[in-house]
Amino acid sequence: MKIITIIISLLAFILIVFNFTKVDFNAPFEGESITALITILAGFCAIFLMLILRISKRIEEKAKGRR
């Protein structure tokens, strides 16, 4: 599970970097720039969800160890 979360986080980071290059900072809310901004936000959400999943798995392992 740890490897999958790392791979998904890495892919999301690559997607963020790629779409950051597509943003036109002179008109960020027009044309392809808005699509790039939405995709950047989706990438950050994916990374955040993978962090939550990894933390919850770590908590689950510690809880099982106490029983």
Query: pLDDT (tens digit, 9 = 90+) per residue, 13-26?
Result: 999 999 999 998 89
What is the Cα 6 distance to its own chain's centre? Answer: 10
Burial of 43 (0-12, 13-18, 19+ CB in 10 A): buried
| pLDDT for residue 10 is more than 70 | yes
Q: What is the pLDDT of residues 23-59, one digit of tens each?
A: 988 988 888 999 999 999 999 999 999 999 999 999 9
Q: pTM for the whole thing? A: 0.85
Quote the pLDDT of residue 67.
65
The Cβ of residue 65 has, within 10 Å, a number of other Cβ atoms equal to 7
Q: Tell me how far apart the alpha carbons of residues 60 and 67 are, in angstroms, rounded to a whole number.
A: 11
